């Protein structure tokens, strides 16, 4: 087993994003949710290549982007010339406050689950009154993927590049912290052509195991 803490954009593109309609589904939901809403000040954490950021940008007068991976720096600066692009770890970045909208799309897995509530609590503190924090996450605690790795999860955990918390537990902890929650379930498809391709993707993406 090898542990690689870096999110590998090429690997994800080849073994996940090119095989799924995830971004299309999320983009549609966001467009429906935003409609004619306008945010004075918005923040996107872990923007990656900025595809989903692009939707938020169309509804934000001022946009701040925090992305840890320097791989995306030029792309983000070119795509969003008016945005404040910060390349850094959200946990150590000095952030402004009074955001009307904060987006955390498919990012929390990159942090140990025991940090999720602190990170979300800190982001909530950066919201304006009536502001909204949108957290988009897969539920790793149910479904076929869970069946595949459940029996080995604890053994593999120290080697995995990602972590998760059952979403019902996460939601209830957020509510106890005083947040008002609105939950919108969604699903998307991932299609692999063969068993070999499926196993390669499971190893590389979900387990973070390299063949070497």
Ligand X SMILES: C[S@@+](CC[C@H](N)C(=O)[O-])C[C@H]1O[C@@H](n2cnc3c(N)ncnc32)[C@H](O)[C@@H]1O
Q: State the residues that interact with ligand X by CB under 6 A.
A: 7, 45-48, 51-52, 66-69, 89-91, 105-107, 110
Nearest Cα residue to 15 out of 155, 167, 210, 158? 210
| Number of CB atoms found within 10 A of residue 116's CB | 22
Query: Minimum distance from CB of 151 to ligand X (Å)?
Result: 26
Minimum CB separation from ligand X for residue 129, in Å? Answer: 25
Least distance from ligand X to the Cβ atom of residue 52, Å: 4
Beta carbon nearer to ligand X, 47 or 165: 47
CB of 206 to ligand X, least distance (A): 13
What gap in Å lies between CA 61 and CA 41, rounded to an integer?
6
76 vs 130 by CB, closer to ligand X = 76
Nearer to ligand X, 107 or 155 (CB): 107
The full DSSP string for the chain is -----S--HHHHHHHTGGGB-HHHHHHHHHHHHHTT--EEEEEEES-TTSHHHHHHHTTEEEEEEEES-GGGHHHHHHH-TTSEEEES-TTTS-----EEEEEEES-GGGS-HHHHHHHHHHHHTTEEEEEEEEEE---TTSHHHHHHHGGGHHHHGGG-S-----HHHHHHHHHHTTPPP--------B--SSHHHHHHHIIIIIS-----
Least distance in angstroms from the C-beta of 195 to ligand X: 25
Nearer to ligand X, 46 or 131 (CB): 46
For ligand X, give the closer residue by CB, 138 or 198.
138
Q: Pick the closer one to ligand X by CB: 97 or 172.
A: 97
Q: Are strands 60-67 and 39-45 parallel, antiparallel or unpaired?
A: parallel
Smallest distance, ligand X to C-beta of residue 105, A: 4
């Amino acid at each position: 087993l090898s542990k690689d803490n870096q999110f590998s954009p090429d690997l994800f593109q080849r073994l996940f994003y090119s095989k799924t309609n995830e971004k299309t589904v999320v983009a549609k939901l966001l467009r429906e949710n935003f409609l004619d809403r306008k945010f004075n000040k918005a923040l996107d954490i872990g923007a990656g290549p900025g595809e989903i950021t692009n939707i938020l940008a169309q509804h934000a007068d001022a946009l701040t982007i925090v992305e840890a991976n320097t791989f995306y720096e030029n792309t983000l600066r070119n795509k969003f010339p008016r945005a404040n692009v910060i390349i850094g770890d959200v946990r150590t970045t000095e952030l402004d406050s009074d955001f009307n909208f904060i987006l955390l799309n498919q990012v929390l897995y990159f942090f140990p689950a025991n940090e999720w509530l602190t990170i979300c609590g800190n982001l909530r503190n950066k919201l304006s009154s009536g502001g909204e924090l949108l957290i988009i996450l897969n539920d790793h605690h149910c479904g076929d993927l869970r069946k595949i790795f459940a029996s080995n999860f604890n053994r593999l955990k120290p080697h995995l590049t990602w972590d998760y918390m059952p979403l019902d537990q996460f939601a209830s902890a957020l509510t106890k912290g005083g947040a008002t929650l609105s939950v919108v379930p969604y699903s998307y498809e991932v299609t692999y052509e063969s068993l070999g391709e499926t196993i390669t993707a499971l190893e590389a993406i979900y387990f973070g195991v390299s063949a070497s």
